[in-house]
Amino acid sequence: MEIRVNEIDLTRAGIISVQRSLPVGEISWQVDYEIGDVKYRVTGQAFNGRPHGQDADVLLAIQTLFFRAGCPDDNAIQVLGSALLNLSGHPKSGQYYVRLRESLLRLWGVKWTMVRTRWDEKQGHHRGDTTATSLIAELRLVDQATGEHRPFESRELSEISPIEITLVPSFAASIRAGLFQILDGELLSRLGQPQARSLYRVLQAHRIAPDSSLVGEMTFALGDWLSACGLEGERTDNAKRMLDLTHQRLKQEGYLQDVFYSGRGRSGTITYEFSGNPEPELVELLLDRGITRPVAETLAADHPKRVQAALRVIDQRLNTGWKPRSLPASVVDAVRNPKKWGYAAPDSPVKAPVRKKADKNPEPEEEAPTDPRETALTILKLYLRRPVDQDAQLAIRALDDERANTLLSAVKQSRDEALRLAQLLLPHEL
């Protein structure tokens, strides 16, 4: 079967917006952008709202559980809500079970058409393809609502709620082929904040060149890049602030070497330089096991010291008569999860620099930044006596000028007034 939807195309299409929250009524959208020499037009319809934020984590958890279940032939799995939250990296508490239900319904309800075209110099016309697809064919939730009234409102899952998910055939086929494992689960876990995880997904998908190799540097028109990230409706300065904070996290984790802008506004460009290049010898070893080149190059770049150890474990099992459902997917899993496969991981992840604790008695002569958002963050940090949560930092830096000045006025009045207004403006705790 030809695979029509996979992690790479899904992310390139920007179906799951990198934004943490979106207006409830956003159920359709269309974007046009150009990445490299490929022009894209993506038209989406989302019955329950466009997927965004943590929905990408939930989808990755579904793919992982589908793989662990042996990629059933009927493309269906039954899982517990607690398992999805655990793999998604989210707390197993009441509000997150409500959000999990909402995420699942958004992922079920989204459908899209992606037109890709590239200029063919020899033929003198554009050539490409049009794909119309979705992710989840069928979804069944056992949920509940508290109270006697409004039984259809505020429904939530529980820790033991069974969830039945049937994937569309082509999406299930991509998981069997191991294509969803172009992402490093360890890095995703360390990144923490949804925006950084989302941007990592988008970068990794577009980093794959037409010949399926990984590129070391990419340059995009800023306007096109914002559309590819699902930020087409944001003001340019707000979108850049959101991106810049995630760039900092990806640099700390050793994924990005550098990021720089050229030109002004959306007509300017943004350039990404990546850290680490895959070793050709390791890539060839993985290709010989049937792994696709994008995944092979990603594994060789992410975990170069694990590849040969993982292959030895696989070979030992094959020699005992073990017959995996999918050898390529098993090899990928062995590289990604050394503890599960019983060998020591020779390489350790790049750790972010240790942050200094906030000084309980900050120096009074320290000058606050002139940007109202940065000034508000500085004062909030003094009130809290600790750094402001990174999700809250993102939200504050994404505020428009009017709301930023309103927040700044409040934080200058009193600690209680500052925290009260901050909680109204921000969807997460500080």
Separation CA 227–CA 237 (nearest Å): 14
pLDDT of residue 149: 54
Poorest-pLDDT segment among 19-23, 124-128, 373-377, 385-389: 385-389
3-state SS assignment for residue 274: strand
Token pair belonging to 375: 């000034």
pLDDT of residue 363: 38
Tell me the average pLDDT across 2-7: 54
Q: Identify the band that residue 332 occupies on the pLDDT scale cut at 50, 70 and 90.
A: confident
Separation CA 159–CA 84 (nearest Å): 10
- The helix (run of H) or strand (run of E) holding residue 32 is strand 28-35
Separation CA 18–CA 230 (nearest Å): 6
Hey, what amino acid is at 315? D
pLDDT of residue 109: 95
Question: Crossing angle, helix 55-68 and helix 81-88, to 10 degrees?
Answer: 110
Separation CA 201–CA 55 (nearest Å): 12
Backbone phi, psi, residue 322, to 5°: -65, 135
Q: Which range among 16-30, 55-69, 257-271, 400-414 has the greatest average pLDDT?
A: 257-271
pLDDT of residue 359: 46
Contact 161, 141 (CB under 8 A): yes
Task: Reply yes or no on whether the pLDDT at 429 is more than 50.
Answer: no
Task: Reply yes or no on whether the pLDDT at 395 is more than 80.
Answer: no
Task: Reply yes or no on whether the pLDDT at 255 is more than 50.
Answer: yes
Closest C-alpha to 59, from 196, 235, 201, 249: 201
Closest C-alpha to 202, from 164, 243, 174, 143: 243
Task: Reply yes or no on whether the pLDDT at 335 is more than 60.
Answer: yes
Q: Which range among 112-121, 346-355, 391-400, 416-425 has the greatest average pLDDT?
A: 112-121
3-state SS assignment for residue 75: coil
Contact 301, 254 (CB under 8 A): no
Taking residue 298's Cβ as centre, other Cβ atoms within 10 Å add up to 25
Poorest-pLDDT segment among 89-98, 234-243, 254-263, 310-319: 89-98
pTM above 0.85, yes or no: no
- The conformation of residue 156, written as its DSSP 8-state character, comes to B
Task: Reply yes or no on whether the pLDDT at 368 is more than 70.
Answer: no
CA dihedral 410, 412, 416, 422 (to 10 degrees): 40
pLDDT of residue 120: 81
Poorest-pLDDT segment among 7-21, 110-124, 230-244, 321-335: 7-21
Backbone phi, psi, residue 93, to 5°: -125, 170
How far is CA 209 from each of CA 111, 154, 205, 430, rounded to the nearest angstrom?
A: 26, 44, 9, 40
Average pLDDT, the chain: 80
Separation CA 282–CA 308 (nearest Å): 8
Contact 267, 221 (CB under 8 A): yes
Q: Which range among 22-26, 89-93, 107-111, 356-360 has the greatest average pLDDT?
A: 107-111
pLDDT of residue 181: 61
Q: Which range among 6-10, 101-105, 347-351, 420-424 has the greatest average pLDDT?
A: 101-105
Task: Kindly tell me the sign of the dihedral angle through the C-alpha atoms of 64, 68, 73, 77.
Answer: negative
pLDDT in tens, 260-269: 999 988 889 9
Task: Reply yes or no on whether the pLDDT at 246 is more than 80.
Answer: yes
Separation CA 348–CA 185 (nearest Å): 14
Task: Reply yes or no on whether the pLDDT at 296 is more than 60.
Answer: yes
pLDDT in tens, 90-121: 777 778 888 899 999 999 999 999 898 988 87
3-state SS assignment for residue 214: strand
Backbone phi, psi, residue 218, to 5°: -135, 140
Compare 318 and 2 and report the one with higher pLDDT.
Answer: 318
pLDDT of residue 356: 43
pLDDT in tens, 183-197: 777 787 788 777 788
Separation CA 294–CA 230 (nearest Å): 23
How far is CA 101 from each of CA 16, 22, 160, 391, rounded to the nearest angstrom?
A: 16, 16, 13, 22
Token pair belonging to 37: 């020499």
Separation CA 100–CA 224 (nearest Å): 31
Token pair belonging to 1: 């079967």
How far is CA 129 from each of CA 4, 114, 132, 169, 385, rounded to the nearest angstrom?
A: 11, 8, 10, 19, 55
Alpha carbon 204 to its chain centroid, in Å, reads 10
3-state SS assignment for residue 278: coil
pLDDT of residue 347: 56
